[in-house]
């Protein structure tokens, strides 16, 4: 005989498994789109391509080219000869919703 507690555990286990599988598949689709992203070169044609795209935005593209630092390149303290630059990050929020619990937008 199966007890109600066992049924509850089985049901919650199936629900969590379904939820995690759904999240996994959603992230797998994003990873596939990123891996299949077109590779573009950083050159004079890039601004023309961006302005011709719908919404002036190219979703999921890989840019290849030489990056020059604005001031000075960052050098690694742990690996000799390894340099890098900081990407300028622009965060654009699409909508603001008031959170009454945290009292913030």
CA 101 → CA 46, 93, 97, 105, distances in Å?
44, 20, 12, 11
Contact 52, 26 (CB under 8 A): no
What local confidence, expressed as pLDDT, does residue 89 receive?
Answer: 63
What is the residue extent of each domain of the chain?
2-82
Instruction: Specify the residue for token string 């999240």.
Output: 23
The pTM (predicted TM-score) of the whole model is 0.48
pLDDT in tens, 17-59: 999 999 999 999 989 988 888 888 888 888 898 889 888 888 7
CA 6 → CA 2, 15, 18, distances in Å?
6, 14, 18
- Token pair recorded at residue 50: 């961006």
């Amino acid at each position: 005989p199966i007890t109600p507690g066992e049924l509850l555990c089985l049901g919650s286990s199936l629900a969590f498994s379904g939820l995690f599988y759904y999240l996994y598949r959603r992230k797998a689709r994003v990873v596939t789109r990123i891996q299949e992203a077109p590779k573009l070169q950083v050159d004079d044609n890039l601004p023309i391509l961006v302005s011709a795209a719908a919404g002036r935005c190219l979703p999921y593209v890989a840019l290849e080219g030489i990056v020059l630092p604005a001031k000075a390149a960052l050098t690694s303290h742990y690996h000799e000869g390894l340099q890098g630059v900081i990407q300028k990050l622009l965060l654009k929020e699409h909508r603001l919703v008031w959170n009454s619990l945290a009292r913030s937008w």
